[in-house]
Amino acid sequence: MNKGRVIYEDEAEPHFRLAYPSPALTVFVDYYFEVNQPATLSNPLYLNGLPNLSNLLCISLNPQKWLSINQKTGAIKTGHGSRLLGNLTDLHTSIYPAGVHEFYVKFKPGMLGKLFHFQTQEIENAHADLSISIHPDGLEEQLQTAPVFHERVRLMETRLLKRIQRVEVNYKLKIVQAVLQKFGPKTANRDQHLSKICRELGVSYPSLHRYFNETLGYSPKYCQKLVRFKNALQLYQRYGSRYPFEEVGYTDFSHFSKDARQLTQRSPSEL
- Distance (Å, rounded) from C-alpha 126 to C-alpha 121? 10
Q: How confident is the model at residue 232, as a pLDDT?
A: 93
Range 171-270 classified under CATH 1.10.10.60: yes
Q: What is the CA radius of gyration of the chain?
A: 19
Q: What pTM was estimated for this model as a whole?
A: 0.90
| pLDDT tens-place string over residues 18-41 | 999 999 999 999 999 999 988 877
Task: Give the burial class of 186: count Cβ atoms within 10 A of its Cβ; 0-12 exposed, 13-18 middle, 19 or more buried.
Answer: exposed
| pLDDT tens-place string over residues 43-96 | 898 999 999 998 999 999 998 999 999 999 999 998 888 888 999 999 999 999
Q: How far is CA 121 from CA 69, 174, 246, in A?
A: 20, 19, 31
CB atoms within 10 A of CB 149: 18
- Angle at Cα 111 formed by Cα 195 and Cα 85, nearest 5°? 110
What residues does each domain of the chain span?
16-164, 171-270
Give the three-state DSSP class for 163.
helix
Range 16-164 classified under CATH 2.40.180.10: no
Say if residues 265 and 71 touch (Cβ distance below 8 Å): yes
